[in-house]
Amino acid sequence: MGRLPLLQATISETLRLRPPAPLALPHCCPLSPSSLGGLPVVAGTVLVPNLLAAQQDPDIWQHPEVFLPERFLAPGAPSRSLMPFGCGARSCPGEGLARAELFVFLGLILREFRLEPGPGGLPGLRGSPGTVLRCPPFRLRMVPCQPLGSP
C-alpha cells in the first residue's frame, strides 16, 4: 500500500467527501452538564456527530468542497481530522478491512481499465441525504488497457 501513495490519497479523499455513513453513532452526555466546542450541553443530552460536516469544515480543510486527493500527500495534511468510520471507542471495527478492500479493488480496476465519463458526463458531488449518501445515477465507460508489450 505504501508504494501507491496517490491511490491511498484518492481513497482517503473519497472517504472524506463521502463517508460510509454521514452520521456517527449517538453519544450521551454524562450525568453532569458539559460543553462541546464552547457550547453548553445539558446532562443526558444525546449527541449525534455529523462526520460529513466535520470532514468538510473550512477551518480544517482548504477548499473542502473540491476533490483534491493530493491534500493527503502534502506534509502536514490534516489526516487526523479524517474520520469516515467514526473515532474513539465507537469507531467502526471493520475500518482496516474496508480500507484494504477499497485499496485492492480500486487498484485492480485501475490497473486493468481506463475510466471515462459516460454520455451524461461526471456526476456532481452532491448526494441525497439519508442513512448513507447516495450519488445520482451515472454511467462510466471502462476501457480495457493494453497489456504491456502490445501494439
Q: Which residues are annotated as a binding site for heme?
A: 92
CB 69 within 8 A of CB 10: yes
Binding residues: 92
Largest distance between two CA atoms of the chain: 72
Q: List Cα–Cα distances, 80 to 30, 88, 135, in angstroms.
A: 25, 12, 26
Cα torsion 66, 69, 71, 77: sign: positive
